[in-house]
Amino acid sequence: MLFSSIPFLYYFLPAVLILYFAAPKKLKNTVILLSSLFFYGWGEPKYVFLMAFSILAAYVFGIFVEKYRDRTVGKILCGVSVAVSLSFLLYFKYTDFFIDNFNRVFGTDTALLKIALPVGISFYTFQIISYTVDVYRGEPSQKNIISLAAYVTMFPQLIAGPIVRYSDIARQLSDRQHSFTKAGEGIRRFILGLGKKIIIANQLGELCDVFRASGEKSVLFYWLYAVAFALHVYFDFSGYSDMAIGLGKIFAFDFLENFNYPYISASVSEFWRRWHMSLGSWFRDYVYIPMGGNRVKPSRQLLNILVVWMLTGFWHGAAWNFIIWGLYFAVFLTVEKFWLGKYIKKSKVISHVYVLLTVLISFVIFNAPDMKTAFSDIGGLFGAGGIPLASPEALYCLADYGVLLIIGIIGATPLVKKLFVRLWDVKGVKTVLAVCEPVFLLGLLTVMTAFLVDGSFNPFLYFRF
C-alpha cells in the first residue's frame, strides 16, 4: 500500500485514526501494531511471518543481552542477534547478486534463486539491529513485546524510512503526549510531503523516463536528465520522509529529520550531513565509530571510510553501480578530509559548483541499470561519442518541463521556508496566513487526489531498497 494512493488516503488512514484515538492509552500501541501488519501484509502477506519472527528473535535477544551485558556472553548474544538480522537481509537481498558474480568469475552456471525482496527489509533490519545494540550499550530492553513490535512495524516509516533508532523513541512507546497542535503539525507535514511526491517527484520521473526511451540523445538532454533525476530522488525521498514524520506526529511520535536542504551544501561532507541523515548517522554510530572512527591512524581511518561507504552503497541495492556509487563518495570524502577541504572553503561559488557537479554525476551512476550505461551516461554529459549539443526532443522537453525544473530547484533550497517565516513575523500577515493555510492545504489535497485518480502507478524510489 502506498501513501500516495486513494486506498491509503481515504480508507486505511481514516479508519486507523478513528480506531487509534478511540482506543484507551494502553491499547494505542496495539492499534498501531495491527494496523502496521495489515499495511505491510496488504502487498506481501507471506513476509509478515518473516517480520514476526525477526521481532520475536529481537525481543528474546534483547532480554538476555540486557541481563548479561556486563559479561562476555552479553557481547556474544548481541553479535548473534545482529548476525541473525543481517542473515535475513543478506539472503533475500543479495543471494542472487553473489551467485551471479560467482558464475561470472568461475564460469559456472548456477541458477539464480530469483528471490522476491521483502519491501522495507533494509529499513526494519537496521532498526532491529539498533534496538539490540542500544540495549547492549545500556538502554533498558523492551519487556512489552507489543511495544517492541509496534516500533519495528510502525507503518509511517516502515517502507522507506527514516531509520528510527530505538533509543530515540523508547520512552515515547510507553509515554507520549497527544495534542491538537502536534496533530495539526503532522497533517500539514504529511500533505506537503505528499505534494512533493505527486506534483514534483512524479512529474520529474516522467522526464527521466522520456530520456531513457529517447533515440535522440544530446548533451543538453543528458544534463536535463541528470538534473531531473537528482531533483526527482530528492523530492521523492524527502517527500516520503515528510509524510512519515507527519504521520508520526499525529500519533504523538517525534521522528528525527531526514533531510536538511542537501543541495545547498558547500562540500560533499556537508552534503552527507544533510542527505538521508538517519542512514548516515546509523552507519556512523553502529559501524564507523565501533571500527575506530577518527581515533585511529590515518591509514586505518581511510580503511574505515572505504568500508563504511562501500556498505552504504551496497545497502542501497545488490548491484555494482551501487557499490561504485558508495566508493565514489568515499573517494571525495577522503580527499576532502585530508587535502581538499581547506581549499573549497575559500570560495562559496566554486564549492557549490563542485558539490553539485559531484552529486549530479553520482546520481547518474546511482540510477544506471549497469556500469556500462553509467559510463555511457557520464560520457554523454560531456559530449562523448560525437552526440550533438542539443536535439529537437531535448529542446521540447526543456520547454515542457522547464517551469517544473525551476520550481524543483527553488523548492530544494530554504528560500520558500525563509520567506514564509519572514511573512509570519509581519504584523497582520500572521493572521491571514493562519486562515489561508488550511484552505491551501485542503486545495492541495484536492489537486493531488485528482492526480492520483487520473495518474499511473508510481511507487516511491526507495521502496526497492
Place of cell 552456471: 109
Question: Which residue, 278, 276, 317, 282, is CA-closest to 92?
Answer: 317
Crossing angle (nearest 10°) for helices 121-136 and 166-174: 80
Residue 231 has a CB neighbour count (10 Å cut-off) of 25
Residues 6 or more apart whose Cβ sits within 8 Å of residue 188: 246, 437, 441
Nearest-angstrom CA–CA distance, 261 and 237:
12
User: Residues 6 or more apart from 21 whose CB is under 8 A from it?
Assistant: 178
Catalytic residue selected from 178, 232, 276, 316:
316
For the record, the C-alpha cell of 282 comes out as 546509523
Residue 459 backbone dihedrals phi, psi, to 5 degrees: -70, 165
| Rounded Cα distance, 98 and 139, in Å | 36
Compute the distance between CA of residue 442 and CA of residue 424 in angstroms, rounded to an integer.
Answer: 20
- Nearest CA to 283 out of 305, 257, 301, 261 is that of 305
Measured CA to CA in angstroms, residue 113 lies from 5, 96, 167, 405 at distances of 32, 6, 37, 41
User: For residues 311 and 287, is the Cβ–Cβ distance under 8 A?
Assistant: yes
Work out the number of other CB atoms within 10 angstroms of the CB of residue 107: 7
Please indicate whether residue 316 is annotated as part of the active site.
yes
Instruction: Let me know: does 356 contact 186? Beta carbons within 8 Å.
Output: no
> Measured between alpha carbons, how far is residue 44 from residues 50, 90, 121, 435 in Å?
11, 19, 12, 42
Q: Point out the residues that are catalytic.
A: 316
